[in-house]
Amino acid sequence: MSCNYADGLSAYDNKGILGAPESFDSDEDVAEKCQELADLIKKSGHVVLHTGAGISTSAGIPDFRGPKGVWTLEEKGEKPDFNVSFDEARPTKTHMAIIALIESGYVQYVISQNIDGLHLKSGLDRKYLSELHGNIYIEQCKKCRRQFVSPTAVETVGQKSLQRACKSSMDSKGRTCRYGILYDNVLDWEHDLPENDLEMGLMHSTVADLNIALGTTLQIVPSGDLPLKNLKRGGKFVICNLQPTKHDKKANLIVSSYVDVVLSKVCKLLGVEIPEYSEAADPTKQSKPMEWTIPTSNVNTFHKKYNKYVKDSKIESKAKKTKYT
């Protein structure tokens, strides 16, 4: 499938600010800010990354609102050039750096607006990932709601029928899923966000010591507002993006440089080696279908941690108010 999946979505006029100019920090400023970011990561116990289309442009997939973005050019009556198809695209330096940061314990969770499947291809485990807008490589059963990895990009977007039977031989209770039909799980404008992905994203964003936005202007809600969820209780918020974002004034640090450059420098400062992409770790390259459903047990387990965090925060807030009255 072409990377311009947006052609398959419903018409929608309110696409936000398009084509804002990009700005670049000097090499000296980038080095200084990357050191500051590395220090923030070291001091944080729970780091969450919020990824947007800007982390995939170096893979040949255009963004939406950049100077040469899909919607920016569409507004001018032009069409973007696509260097690769989804199936040809490979994870970028940023995608592989994220794998390294998670495996080394520096990052705890990733929340993505991207449907390109590059987090999946990089080998990122589902337990570390919320996909708020779907994934072009995922087929979801309309009946049992289980998700499965497709070896190629699916043919449709907008949660349409793929006219294929469910790949599930059994559900979680050992029962066969009968008569289930697979659909793509890429959202159209009018669709609700996937419940478990959104819930996990909201909880992780709230408990985070540090939320980092990578390659996104944060214009789409609710995903664009999630990085702010930790600010009320003293969390930090960092933006790495070339264009101005909706929430620049609320950020503790803004790095204006290519995300590949920023994460390469940060990983080096943290002593983390970035692996190369490997087909052996890519679920789309495996011979047997792989399930991609977020286990309900994962949501319930993190719910307990989240509820404890909220309870402890309320107690701490009440103690502070008592102290100063």
Annotation: binding site for Zn(2+)? 141, 144, 166, 177
Q: How far apart are CA 46 and CA 7, in angstroms?
A: 38
Indicate left, alpha or beta for 163 from its phi (over 0: left) and psi (-120 to 50: alpha). left
Residue 309 CB contacts under 8 Å (≥ 6 apart), including other chains: 206, 207
Query: Which of these is catalytic: 50, 133, 204, 247?
Result: 133
Sheet order of strands, 109-112 included = 129-131, 109-112, 47-51, 210-214, 236-240, 253-255
Token pair for residue 72?
């920016």
Q: How far apart are CA 58 and CA 54, in angstroms?
A: 8
Question: Is residue 95 among the annotated active site residues?
Answer: no
Q: What is the DSSP letter of 284?
A: G
Catalytic residue ranges: 133
